[in-house]
Structure 1
Amino acid sequence: MTSLGKVGPDHARRQAELRIFETGAPSHDLSRKVVAVGPGYRLFIATPRGRPPAAGWPVLYMLDGNAAFDFLTPGHLATVPGLMIVGIGYDTERQFARELRTRDFTAPDGPGDGLRPDHVHEGRVAGGAAIFHDRLTGPLRDAAEQGLPVDPARRTLWGHSFGGLFTLYALLARPGAFARYAAISPSIWWDEDLIRRVAQAAAPASLPLLVALGDREKRSGSDGPPPDGPAPATMQFISDLASHPGHRAQVHVLQGHIHIQTLAGSFPLALPFAAG
């Protein structure tokens, strides 16, 4: 039986220092908001300081925003001075809200299905991806973009780990809500049947997809040394995805990266991908 005390890797309990809000960034204005919807979410917003294009700024939405903005630096922002970045986080002082993200980022068993017990983590609830997608593209996006010139045709969704799994769900089940998708070390192991349940039922979508993963990743709590190579389940998913019309991924294997390292390790790939 799994203990509900100290479970998961150390980084899952780490406090978010969010130093970028103390140092500032020459290229962007930084702001924060709390949105009282569902369990409560925090928005972390980096808005370019220059003149916006006629159609508005391209915008990158980053799940696990507390962690994403904890790793984000002024140097990262300087590489994309014309990209607006929005972190969608939880109303917590930690980098990750494990129970909430499990619920929000995992897909239902089928259309119309609701929440269910998590089959991996005892005591957690899963299957709320459809509910969270409505929040993300509704009140959370409205609050993030309020009063700002955003190009609705240039929104990108980024997610890491369970957030990467949600990013793939959003691409397959709700294509069109975002123009581009970046799935970083997606937790395919939790839901290897996702493509068979969702992709075949969804309309084909020819949308840019970036996938990045490390070659030294292993599941939290698993025994033995880190593997030497990218996760086979993820690589098989990418291969299966290619058989569906319109779905092609650009894949990057981050050398020497364990799971948590791919979060920030993806920034040099994902930021220009979203700004392009």
Structure 2
Amino acid sequence: MSHRGRVGPDHARNRAELRIFEGDPPTHRLSRKVVDCGPGHRLFLAVPRCNAPQGGWPVLYLLDGNAAFDFLTPEHLAMAPGLVLAGIGYDTDRQFARERRTMDFTAPDGPGDGIRPDPVHPGRMAGGAALFLDRLTGPLRAAAEEGLAIDPARRSLWGHSFGGLFTLYALLVRPRAFARYAAISPSIWWDEPLIRRIADAAGRMQDAPPLLMALGDREKRSGSDGPPPDGPAPATMQFAADLRDRQGLAPQLHVLEGAIHIQTIAGSLPLALPFAAA
């Protein structure tokens, strides 16, 4: 069975099939490599076949790059033929590296480096988002953009689930790290008081970068009991409203009809690629 038809808590264990690398998309050249940086990352690249504009190409950084490129299709790429896609993944054959993404995508809390046991998932560590943001905008960005004509004023960041939470964190603490942000199904439920304190500390954000948010109306946390909800997560909807009212942001908010959590990866790409290419 294709992983695209599987749902529930086991989807995080799925192998990344990366079928897009089996073809030859007409709009982009594909490549991948291991980057010896931090705990070890895999970098997935889709570079336009067209010539770069005078100022360089825009680039969209996709967190959980193994999974993002697993759901990426030539049809998605055709929506933004002049956009570089850089998938920042982990050195694993699975779609997700659960322990490592939990560490990298969750915000620090308290003094010191902020690393602490994950209050939600026993056995995992959390709080490494500040360290990962430095790595992302430093050596990982340098590896992704090496030899490419990139417009530094047109870098965008996309993240899903914990990656969506990290995307909001990056926007709030270092808004100029990227020109545009796309937070998909962000895990607001993970220590919601913490991400709200971070937003409060950011205050009113003058000339904030554009923010796209998307979520499904049938999402629930992996492994939770009961049927899927009928409607988007109230906490996420309220957080988007608070970003508008308290931080002065103007999030573009999209509810993906009928989409459960894992499906919002592919469901968000037709929104995020044109958004990053604008």
TM-score (normalised: structure 1)? 0.95
Q: 1:248 aligns with which of 244, 247, 250?
A: 250
- 1:221-252: per-residue Cα shift (whole Å, max 9, x none)? 11111000000110111111112343121100
Partner of 1:134: 134
Q: State the AA in 1 paired with 2:214.
A: A
Change (3 A) 1:112 1:54: farther
- For structure 2, the 5+ residue unaligned runs are 1-7
CA distance in 1, matches of 2:230, 2:111: 37
Task: Give 1:110 deviation, angstroms.
Answer: 4.0
Partner of 1:230: 232
1:183 and 2:168 aligned: no
Moved more, 15-24 or 53-62: 15-24
Query: Secondary structure at 1:252's aligned position in 2?
Result: strand
Contact 1:195 1:237 (8 Å CA) reproduced: no
Structural mapping, 1:15-164, within 5 Å: 15-110=15-110, 112-164=112-164
Q: Percent identity?
A: 76
CA distance in 2, matches of 1:244, 1:231: 20
Change (3 A) 1:110 1:242: farther
Partner of 2:214: 212
Output the aligned Cα RMSD.
1.3
Partner of 1:271: 273
- 1:5-26: per-residue Cα shift (whole Å, max 9, x none)? xxx7121010001111111211
Q: State the AA in 2 paired with 1:46.
A: A
Contact 1:110 1:197 (8 Å CA) reproduced: no
Query: Secondary structure at 1:32's aligned position in 2?
Result: strand
- For structure 1, the 5+ residue unaligned runs are 1-7
1:166 and 2:152 aligned: no
Task: Give 1:195 deviation, angstroms.
Answer: 4.1
Task: Give 1:79 deviation, angstroms.
Answer: 1.3
Query: Secondary structure at 2:214's aligned position in 1?
Result: strand
Higher helix share: 2
Task: Give 1:112 deviation, angstroms.
Answer: 4.3
Moved more, 156-165 or 27-36: 27-36
Q: State the AA in 1 paired with 2:139.
A: P
CA distance in 1, matches of 2:112, 2:153: 28
Q: State the AA in 2 paired with 1:275.
A: A
Task: Give 1:191 deviation, angstroms.
Answer: 2.5
Query: Secondary structure at 1:176's aligned position in 2?
Result: helix
CA distance in 2, matches of 1:73, 1:248: 29
CA distance in 1, matches of 2:138, 2:230: 41
Change (3 A) 1:70 1:122: same
Q: State the AA in 1 paired with 2:44.
A: F
Contact 2:153 2:179 (8 Å CA) reproduced: yes
CA distance in 2, matches of 1:162, 1:265: 17
Partner of 2:3: none
Query: Number of residue pairs matched?
Result: 269
CA distance in 1, matches of 2:184, 2:90: 19
TM-score (normalised: structure 2)? 0.94
CA distance in 1, matches of 2:96, 2:34: 16
- 1:149-195: per-residue Cα shift (whole Å, max 9, x none)? 00010010000000000000000011100000000000000031244
